[in-house]
Chains A and B, each alone.
Chain A
Amino acid sequence: QITLRESGPTLVKPTQTLTLTCTFSGFSLKTTGVGVGWIRQPPGEALEWLALIFWDDNERYTPSLKTRLTITKDTSKNQVVLTMTTMDPADTATYYCVHRPNSGSFFDYWGQGTLVTVSS
């Protein structure tokens, strides 16, 4: 079965860079059409899609954060890494790692999420 697990710091200071790692199992990021992405949710707010990396190394980013985000993959380790620069308290949120199936850019499996707080 497909599982995803997020890992990374729970607390970062303003202006620092956040690095989150998604470790997954049950599928391969070499499979045509498959992708892994990141979605965040500030406390009490709606979901916001951030980034997606595809099996063929193509990347997609939400335009409002594009200059601050980088998504990479390591297929040998079954990992996807998201970096977000210049963190701000407004970036406080639960960050989810998600699986994109080969049938479309919806997200059929989610990690449990990791709460990242930005505070000095």
Chain B
Amino acid sequence: DIQMTQSPSSLSASVGDKVTITCRASQDISDNLAWYQQKPGKAPKFLLYAPSFLQSGVPSRFSGSGSGTDFTLTISSLQPEDVATYYCQNYYSAPYTFGQGTRLEIK
């Protein structure tokens, strides 16, 4: 199985800050990486895939980059509604593993 490791596990930032979350795959997954946002008590929401293509309706302050084993999710200017847990997911091969999540809070 491909292991997905996110860092940090949690972070606190101020409104307006640039935030970066990292995801590392245990082997080369090319660009087969997706990101999700999960707010408390809600189902996850799909944000990006491949890994820089933004899902329709997702704010442009969200962006993704990377290839191979190292990927990043960036929020260019943190907003209060971005408080959530973020997950990366490998879709290069089954099993389609997720990272352990990064919990984002407002400072």
B-binding residues in A (CB < 8 A): 46-49, 52, 60-63, 96, 103-113
Contact = CB atoms under 8 A, between A and B. Distances in A.
Interface residues of B, number: 23
B78 interface: no
Contacts of B43: 96, 110-113
Contact of B100 (A46, A49, A104): A46
A69 to B, nearest CB: 12
A108 B48 CA distance: 9
Interface of chain A, main secondary structure: loop
Contacts of A103: 49
Nearest to A104: B91
A49 B46 contact: no
B98 A106 contact: no
Interface of B is mostly: loop
The 9 closest A-B pairs by CB, nearest first: A106-B34, A105-B91, A110-B43, A60-B94, A62-B95, A47-B98, A49-B96, A108-B46, A106-B91
B61 interface: no
B94 A48 contact: no
A107 B97 CA distance: 12
Nearest to A108: B46
Nearest to A50: B95
Contacts of B34: 104, 106-107
Contact of A52 (B36, B46, B94): B94
